[in-house]
Structure 1
Amino acid sequence: MSVRRIAVIPARGGSKRIPHKNIKPFFGQPLLSYSIRAARESGLFDHVIVSTDDGEIAEAARTYGAEVPFVRPPELSGDHIGTNAVIIHAIDWFTAQGEAPDAVCGIYATAPFLTATRLIAGWEALQGKRFAFSVTSYAFAVQRALYRTEEGGVRMFQPEHRLTRSQDLTPAFHDAAQYYWGWAEAFKNGEEIFSAQSAPVVLPRTEVVDIDTPEDWDVAEQMYAALRRQMNL
């Protein structure tokens, strides 16, 4: 039996720290175009859609090969709406059209380093799990993290590891903010993504930037330029 798979790229129009971030030109193309391209090139999806409340974003999405089958409702377009709610809305919409998906991949619109190969690795990792998503390692041991005190000094979160060798500490990872694969029923049931029933797909740090601020954008451009030089593009 074939498995129906859809890619959902959330891209609302209300970005404040980087206005219209999702379609801001990144090396000559709207930022979200890179996510669309990776999804299409993977060959995994019956539909690659952009969920947006913004006409300009919708136009750019269609130009680069995505579907925009509906306008995201206002109640799902606020600053505090999570990705899962947007994915569930898309699942419900396709179900109402008689095309209920079995698996869904939520893909960030701000992931220019995402590739088809990484999406395929995520799909393979999902087998036997409820979710699979991209992660990358912390550059430094989180067990030695510091915080500032009210008096202006510093303390360790885990002072018991002050003298522990780095190689003896458990490696730590964080969400790489590229994609989340999951079974439709797992999204609908509100199951916990960060759990033992999820498979992490580890990416090198050279492929990961979470673009939220102008500084993040500058870092992403520098990293992407270095990657292009490496690949002689």
Structure 2
Amino acid sequence: MSSTTPTVLAVIPARGGSKGVPAKNLAPVGGVPLVARAVRACLGARLVTDVIVSTDDDAIAATARAAGAGALPRPAELSGDTATSESALLHALGAFEATHGRRVDVVLLIQCTSPFLTSSDVDGVASEVVHGAADTALTVAPSHGFLWRDGRDRRDGRDRDRDHAGAGADSDGGARRTYGVNHDKAHRPRRQDRPQDFLETGAAYAMTAEGLRTHGHRFFGRTALVVTDPARVLEIDDPHDLARARALAPLLDEKVTPDLAAVDAVVLDFDGTQTDDRVLIDSDGRELVAVHRGDGLGVAALRRCGVRLLILSSERNPVVAARARKLAVPVLHGVERKDLALKQWCDEHAIDPRRVLYAGNDVNDLPCFGLVGWPVAVADAHDAVRAAARAVTAAPGGAGAIREIAAWLLGPTLSTPAP
């Protein structure tokens, strides 16, 4: 590699079609679309100079640009189920060099279906190639599992292992059905006595651009293994994988909260978010709820700072309107489809939904979470809501959660910025 700063191009293939999980690459994990999570991991890597998303989908392209990457339209012949990742890499490599007028030294293949990829992982594979230790590199995780193989070919039912060599044959001498791949089933050594195996994570690969052009695939020459945390290894191929990723995100993601530079509007659910979700009913059927005075302080501070506010509730209840009047905040209540109402409100006020913070607590808030850039769950929200949130308050609903959100945006003293 030359002494000048090398051009390291990270390419994120992201087709619009997905049979296992519809619109998979736009599916949010931890409140952030998968493709945006991959972009952020690349942008946070020290050695990466350029990031582009190769896609055939306009929505994915828009999400990639909003996250800070370039978006490269992928030709139809490279967008089908049979198209290889290498074909997308080569197309992206050629298009980038033609557009930017400079040669790429190292190409990275980054898969956005690995939601817990870190910037350190990206830098790890890039470093092995940039600094000349290897021609190619990939992320792997330590594996201690015993692998087995079924000798019957699933495609046509024929036995494929009759001539398999080594110990472990069936004791009856008949046609073999199963055998150990990385072990002799007649002798199973202890974990500490076995050679260390590594599992390819599918998350990040690096290669010299010249080698990719010459060989047409991602593994050539000297290949380096970059060992990653096995707890973070997950590839999303079906809805169950996506559900697991969303459940793990609150545990694995770095805790982040927005500031005022990231948010133009704050939209608040009412029941369970501004209240503790309990209702008191008197003998005349009138409903009473409890709210937190600190929340009122936070709302007032946000209003003074020019943050646009809205209360959005599916309940048509006089108490919601009364609280909105008290806070001097517009309200939409008795709304059957909160997501449609939110989208219309954003359109009417020329607000980019990606710069909206929406705070909620229950599953009817999830459609709104999918629209906004900052979905926030209160501490005692439904598990599915917490899993889909980008940030979670420490305070439960009705116990100062809105005051806490205001402190994220304005600082702990809720001071009004100087004019």
Q: What band does the TM-score fall into relative to the shorter chain?
A: 0.7 to 0.9
Unaligned runs of 5+ residues in structure 2 are: 158-173, 257-390, 393-419
State how 1:9-24 maps to structure 2 within 5 Å: 9-24=12-27
Deviates more, 1:106-115 or 1:54-63: 106-115
1:229–1:59: structure 2 CA closer, same or farther, 3 Å change rule?
closer
2:273 aligned residue: none
2:213 is the counterpart of 1:188 = yes
Measure how far apart 1:48 and its partner are: 0.7
Letter in 2 for 1:76: L
Measure how far apart 1:93 and its partner are: 1.0
2:95 aligned residue: 93
Aligned pairs, number:
229
Given candidates 65, 81, 84, the residue that maps to 1:82 is: 84
Measure how far apart 1:61 and its partner are: 0.7
Measure how far apart 1:106 and its partner are: 1.1
Measure how far apart 1:146 and its partner are: 4.7
2:189 aligned residue: 165
Deviates more, 1:168-177 or 1:51-60: 168-177
Given candidates 197, 201, 205, the residue that maps to 2:230 is: 205
Rg larger for:
2
1:58 aligned residue: 61
2:112 aligned residue: 109
CA distance in 2, matches of 1:228, 1:182: 28
TM-score of the pair, normalised by structure 1: 0.87
Preserved CA contact (<8 Å) 1:32 1:111: no
2:38 is the counterpart of 1:73 = no
Measure how far apart 1:20 and its partner are: 0.6
2:306 aligned residue: none
Measure how far apart 1:226 and its partner are: 2.7
Letter in 2 for 1:160: D
Letter in 1 for 2:180: F
Q: Identity over aligned residues, as a percent?
A: 31
Measure how far apart 1:204 and its partner are: 2.1
Preserved CA contact (<8 Å) 2:86 2:218: no
1:162–1:194: structure 2 CA closer, same or farther, 3 Å change rule?
farther
Measure how far apart 1:25 and its partner are: 1.6
CA distance in 2, matches of 1:63, 1:74: 24
Letter in 2 for 1:118: D
CA distance in 1, matches of 2:7, 2:248: 35
Given candidates 91, 115, 133, the residue that maps to 1:128 is: 133
Given candidates 51, 61, 66, the residue that maps to 1:48 is: 51
CA distance in 2, matches of 1:161, 1:194: 31
2:209 is the counterpart of 1:156 = no
1:197–1:14: structure 2 CA closer, same or farther, 3 Å change rule?
same
CA distance in 2, matches of 1:61, 1:114: 17
1:23–1:85: structure 2 CA closer, same or farther, 3 Å change rule?
same
Preserved CA contact (<8 Å) 2:136 2:221: no
State how 1:138-153 maps to structure 2 within 5 Å: 138-142=143-147, 145-147=148-150
Measure how far apart 1:192 and its partner are: 5.5
CA distance in 2, matches of 1:228, 1:90: 30
Preserved CA contact (<8 Å) 2:17 2:23: yes
CA distance in 2, matches of 1:93, 1:178: 23
Measure how far apart 1:154 and its partner are: 5.6
Q: Deviations over 1:57-105 (max 9, x none)?
A: 001111111111x310001101111111111111111222312211111
Partner secondary structure for residue 73 of structure 2: coil
Deviates more, 1:48-57 or 1:22-31: 22-31
Given candidates 193, 199, 219, the residue that maps to 1:174 is: 199
Letter in 1 for 2:133: G
CA distance in 2, matches of 1:210, 1:148: 26
2:247 is the counterpart of 1:222 = yes
Letter in 2 for 1:87: L
CA distance in 2, matches of 1:53, 1:192: 22
TM-score of the pair, normalised by structure 2: 0.50
1:229–1:162: structure 2 CA closer, same or farther, 3 Å change rule?
farther
Measure how far apart 1:10 and its partner are: 0.4
Measure how far apart 1:49 and its partner are: 0.6
Letter in 2 for 1:19: P
1:59–1:86: structure 2 CA closer, same or farther, 3 Å change rule?
same
Deviates more, 1:125-134 or 1:219-228: 219-228
Preserved CA contact (<8 Å) 1:141 1:169: no
CA distance in 2, matches of 1:188, 1:154: 41
Partner secondary structure for residue 215 of structure 2: coil
- The one of the two structures with greater contact order (alpha-carbon pairs below 8 A, sep at least 6) is 1
Partner secondary structure for residue 189 of structure 1: helix
